[in-house]
Structure 1
Amino acid sequence: MQPQQDTTRRALVLIAVCTAGLILPLEYTGPAMALAAIGDDLGGGPVALAWVVNAFALSFGSAIMAAGTLADLYGRKRMFCWGIGSFTVLSVVVSCAPNVVFLDLIRGLQGIAAALTMAGGSATLAQEYEGHARTRAFGLLGTAFGLGLAFGPVISGALVEFFNWRSIFLLGAAFGGLAWLLAAPRMRESRDPGARHLDWAGVLSFSAMLVLLTFAIMQVPAHGWRSLTVLSLVGAALLMLALFIGIEQRQARPMLDLSLFASKRFVGVQLLPIATALSFIVLLILLPLRFVGVEGLGTGQAGLLMLGLSLPMLVVPFLSALMARYIAPANLCFAGLLLAAGGLLWLAQVPVGASWLTLCLPMALIGIGSAVPWGLMDDLSIKVVSVERAGMATGIFTTMRACGEAVCVAAALALLNSLLQGQLDTLLNPESATAVAAELATGSFSSAQANAANVSAHALAECYSAAFATLTYGLGALTLVAALLSRWALAEPDIACAAGAAPGAER
């Protein structure tokens, strides 16, 4: 193939992967803006509606490691095309959902299709590009992924405002079909010749651990941390984790190479998606619920307000990838996370009913700070192993990202619910406080008012403001801790990383 033709082919492959990287996360965060509309159309309580978001996140996180192994074993192109093709079909199916339970189940299948897509697509880019070109390619992918997450609520708000909630998923089908048409004729097949069979025992034990842990977190508001239900679920999750570790230690080619966690720098890379989940992803889910459900904004208005958080993802990740040629990535990530933590502490002081400008300034600071490591994380994750095992490296990192997001979102919703109960205990009896807190946490303000007939709307809004502020202060503190730990871990390349890095990958 002529050099110019190969350059064009690789550019189209990059566009295809970035198109998938845009629509998959958009389909994760976007439905948060439509939960009220979905509830009005299909019914369902707060728990069932929460699973519209959680089902996708959990299945994606559970499957991504296995998807990386499948990409190495059966081919990166094959997994990408199967994944995005399945996602496209399932997007059409979910748009026709007759009830919430059916919608939740199909959302779970969508998460698995998304895992196959991202594992195959990311590993393909690692094969197609090298050195600085690979850094720029992953910078673009990170930008696309960030835009999908960030603009999910914005685009979904507009779609719900002018059409209906089902159009969100039809948009996913349209972009998924475009990505498939671009990729199928142009991607070159690649695989890891040393890859072996899929570790089903590892997949099942890891998936069980993640589901049990998330379900335990979701039960905390109703039962409390010390309840037998929650403690049993947490114990079962720890048992599954121990079983998973034992299984992986006996594998000749494990799905998750636990020896990599002996590398300080490898651990530091895994902290970055946890930090951005705390500072950014949680707000992408909670703020639309607050703006639409509690503050009473229209979905279109709420989508516009979310631009304060989203706009930095247009350019900052790509710029941070370019700046990494001159500034150490550890320093860039640390500075960005410090900005995000400061923005969270600022946002915590903004009550319900504040002006748009008062909200947008701290949201913009959070968006800018979170976007800085976003443009560096994917490329850093690949550097810890050889290119031939890119599928495994991508799987581990994306698992940490997806699991971190799923657990952080579930924990934030549960903590907000518990904090609301604490605020309402002085105004309502325990049973009513539990019901009203659950409604407020998921943005059902009218239902909360109906269950708290003797409490004014102003008092409920003040309770929400206080609970949201406490939660946001906690998110800011945890982001700061993650920033300090990642700065320490990423400061100096260690021997394990240097040995595993791909030739030409180091700057």
Structure 2
Amino acid sequence: MLNLQALPYYRWLVFSVTATGTFMATLDSSIVNVALPRISAMLDSSLPLVQWVVSAYLLTISCLLPLFGRLGDMLGRRSVYTAGFLVFTLGSLLCGLAGHIALLITARVIQAIGAAMLMANASAIVAATFPSSSRGQALGMVGTIVALGSLTGPSVGGVLVDLFGWESIFYVNLPIGLLGFAAGQIILPREARQNGEAFDYPGAVLFATGMICFLLAIIHGEDLGWLSKTVITLFIAAVALLTLFVLHEKRAPFPMIDLSLFKIWAFWSGNAAGLISFMALFSNTMLLPFYLTTILHLSPSQVGLLMTPFPFLMALLAPISGYLSDRINPAFLSTAGLSVTTLGLLSLTLLGEHTSLWEIALSQATLGLGNALFQSPNNNSVMSSVPPEKLGIASGFNSLVRNIGQVSGIAISVSIFENRQAAALAGFTQPDAAQQIAAFLSGYHTALFAGALFAAIGAALSFVRRTELIAKN
């Protein structure tokens, strides 16, 4: 029988399996958004209700990422990762068969459980398989897969929905999921279980409920009001539950999240910089389409084409920056990346009513360059800083930080935009078109400036991290 592990390219076979799961999970998160109007009409559901098709998926993943990262360390990442393919495929099948919005939301939760199993362990498998001399390049290519999934999701989803109906965006996952499971069973290496370690069920419950309260408050803060009783209660509950979680983890013999990881400078500073970077970037991701359609009156296809330079450059340059991070201090690259991102976001604060399309494309290319310079070296720094037996929880926490940064960035940018726009229109009872455009641009510019400020703070943190790492070396 052929010994795959003896093959010189075995590491890349492992990478191909992790890339399959990463691409599928990323594609599905972006492919669903384009189908929401059709789902709302076909299932006779209101827009606030159909939004839970997205929200339920996000909440479930965020709550379970550390849990499945810990289970991967305990039971073996191969077992948890390949099971994720089956759960995700089952959820996709149930989504396609759902004839009622409640069934669809429930199926999305099942799908998200599988996605969390995949996301929490993909980077850990890559980091454990590749030596330090090529780990950065491999993790950079993971970034490429994420970018390609985000890039192709909306376009592929639009074609599938138009030709075959909204159900097809879920059915497309079935052959990919089954192929990924079979390949994982054949290719991924078996790992020894950590016998004698019990799973931290109380910690898992405290963390999950705390994260649910926090994300619900973030998601609904703008529409319910940040100072409403509901949002304040959710924030208080989140703080209380997560505080109890930390206190419990300090006493637990086998904690779900090993808090000693946060004593590792590269781990906590890298995750903090990652959180800030996603908060900064998603001010652009959320608001630019509204600017392009409201102010420049572009079609959806034109909007998608104009935003393409971002993921294209990210996909092209992420492996290169990952390769470089294996040879020079990763913090040099991450500092440069967030500095470039700051400049890209500041350029967006100059957009106006008559801005040329090439200027917008150039700003997106700048953001793609900055993100490519930052993400791969930062992930390499984080994943290389932890012991091999903790790679699963480190990978899960790294993915969790990405999700929280995205949600927080969207919530903060939308809140700033709407408040600033409302303030600009406060003196007009019936504002004309020019006044409405001016108010929109005022809110847009302020929100993007806030995003640039976040990126600048992240760059400063990476710069400090650079000097600390040099001192330690």
Same-fold call, TM cutoff 0.5: yes
Of the three residues 431, 454, 467, the one matched with 1:478 is 454
**Counterpart for residue 264 of structure 1:** 265
Q: 1:131 is matched with which residue?
A: 132
Give, in whole Å, the separation in 1 of the partners of 2:421 and 2:222: 9
Query: 1:312-343: per-residue Cα shift (whole Å, max 9, x none)?
Result: 12211101011224432101001111111111
Structure 1 counterpart of 2:312: 311
Partner of 1:433: none
> Which amino acid letter does the alignment assign opposite residue 209 of structure 2?
A
Distance 1:2 1:92, change over 3 A: closer
Which residue is 1:86 aligned to? 87
Give the conservation status (yes or no) of the 8 Å contact 1:265–1:492: no
1: CA distance, partners of 2:240 / 2:4: 53
2:327 is equivalent to residue 321 of structure 1: no
Partner of 2:30: 29
Could you tell me which amino acid in structure 1 is paired with residue 460 of structure 2?
A: L
| Contact 2:69/2:396 (<8 A) preserved | yes
In structure 2, the residue matched to 1:55 is 56
* 1:68 equivalenced with 2:69 (yes/no): yes
Aligned to 1:315, what secondary structure does the other structure show?
helix
- Report the alpha carbon displacement of residue 471 of structure 1 after superposing the two structures with TM: 1.1
| CA displacement 1:143-168 (0-9 Å, x = unmatched) | 21232234433443454566554433
Letter in 2 for 1:372: L
Please tell me whether the aligned partners of residues 425 and 435 of structure 2 are also in contact (alpha carbons under 8 angstroms).
no
1:382 maps to 2:383: yes
Residue aligned with 1:492, SS:
helix
Partners of 1:458 and 1:48 in 2: how far apart?
34
Shift of 1:242: 0.6
How do 1:74-223 residues align onto structure 2 when only pairs under 5 Å count?
Answer: 74-160=75-161, 164-193=165-194, 196-223=197-224
SS in 2 for 1:184: helix
- For the Cα contact (< 8 Å) 2:4–2:187, is it kept in 1? no
Q: Tell me, yes or no, if the aligned pair for 2:281 and 2:451 is still in contact at 8 Å.
A: no
Q: Deviations over 1:235-256 (max 9, x none)?
A: 1111011111111111123221
- Alpha-carbon separation, structure 2, partners of 1:167 and 1:383: 39
Are 1:402 and 2:400 counterparts?
Answer: no
Work out whether residues 267 and 386 of structure 2, in 8 Å CA contact, stay in contact via their aligned partners in 1: no
User: Following superposition of structure 1 onto structure 2, how do residues 347-496 of structure 1 map, counting pairs within 5 Å?
Assistant: 347-351=348-352, 354-427=355-428, 460-493=436-469
Mapped partners of 1:100, 1:292: distance in 2: 29
Confirm or deny: 8 A CA contact 2:143 2:315 kept in the other structure: no
1:192–1:290 Cα change, 3 Å: farther
Structure 1 residue 492: Cα displacement: 2.9
Moved more, 2-11 or 386-395: 2-11
Partners of 2:262 and 2:237 lie apart in 1 by 23
Cα pair 1:67 1:116 within 8 Å, conserved: yes
Query: Does the 8 Å contact 1:125/1:134 carry over to 2?
Result: yes
Supply the distance in 2 between the matched residues of 1:479 and 1:193 (Cα, whole angstroms): 40
Q: After alignment, is 140-149 or 171-180 more displaced?
A: 171-180
Q: Deviations over 1:376-433 (max 9, x none)?
A: 23322222221122212212222222232233334434444444444454456xxxxx
Distance 1:115 1:4, change over 3 A: closer
Q: Answer yes or no: is 1:245 the counterpart of 2:221.
A: no
TM-score (norm 1): 0.83
Quick one: which amino acid aligns to residue 148 of structure 1?
A: G
> 1:75 deviation in Å?
1.9
**Partner Cα distance (1:290, 1:178) in 2:** 40
Q: Does structure 2 retain, via aligned residues, the 8 Å contact 1:26–1:152?
A: yes
The change in CA–CA distance for 1:109 and 1:425 in structure 2 (over 3 A counts) is farther
Q: How far did 1:25 drift?
A: 1.7
**1:80 offset after TM fit, Å?**
1.0
In the superposition, the TM-score normalised over structure 2's length comes to 0.89
Answer whether contact 1:68 1:394 (CA < 8 A) is retained: yes
- Tell me the SS of whatever aligns to 1:95: helix
For the Cα contact (< 8 Å) 2:283–2:447, is it kept in 1? no
Size of the aligned set, in residue pairs, is 472
Aligned mates of 1:370, 1:114 — CA distance in 2: 23
**2:331–2:463 Cα contact (<8 Å) kept:** yes
What are the equivalent positions in structure 2 for 1:277-296 lying under 5 Å apart? 277-288=278-289, 291=292
Q: Deviations over 1:227-273 (max 9, x none)?
A: 33322221111101111111111112322122222333222110232
Task: Give the counterpart letter for 2:269 in structure 1.
Answer: G
Q: Distance in 2 between matches of 1:240 and 1:216?
A: 14
Aligned-partner Cα distance in 1 for 2:295–2:97: 28
| 1:27 Cα deviation from its structure 2 partner | 1.7
| TM-superposition CA deviations, 1:352-395 (whole Å, max 9, x none) | 67443232111111111012122223322222221122212212
Relative to structure 1, the CA distance from residue 159 to residue 411 in structure 2 (aligned partners, 3 Å threshold; closer, same or farther) is farther
CA RMSD of aligned residues (A): 3.0
**Structure 2 residue aligned with 1:15:** 16
Mapped partners of 1:494, 1:161: distance in 2: 54
Q: Aligned letter for 2:239? A: L
Letter in 2 for 1:257: D
What's the secondary structure of 1:385's corresponding residue?
coil
Partner SS for 1:309: helix
C-alpha separation in 1, matches of 2:5 and 2:102: 50
SS of the residue 2:360 aligns to = helix
Change (3 A) 1:97 1:472: farther
Is the CA contact 2:97–2:167 (under 8 Å) kept in the aligned structure 1?
Answer: yes
Q: Is the 8 A contact 1:264 1:490 kept in 2?
A: no
Q: Counterpart amino acid of 1:477?
A: L
How many Å apart are 1:311 and its aligned residue?
0.8
| Pair 1:294–1:221, CA change in 2 (3 A) | farther
**Which amino acid letter does the alignment assign opposite residue 388 of structure 2?**
V
Residues 123-132 or 337-346, more deviating: 123-132
Which residue is 1:442 aligned to?
Answer: none
Compared with structure 1, are the counterparts of its residues 291 and 401 closer, same or farther at alpha carbon in structure 2 (3 Å cutoff)? Answer: same
The runs of 5 or more residues in structure 2 that have no matched partner are: none
For the structure 1 residues 202 and 393, does the alpha-carbon distance in structure 2 shift closer, same or farther, using more than 3 Å as the test? same
Distance change >3 Å, CA 455–CA 147, structure 1 → 2: same
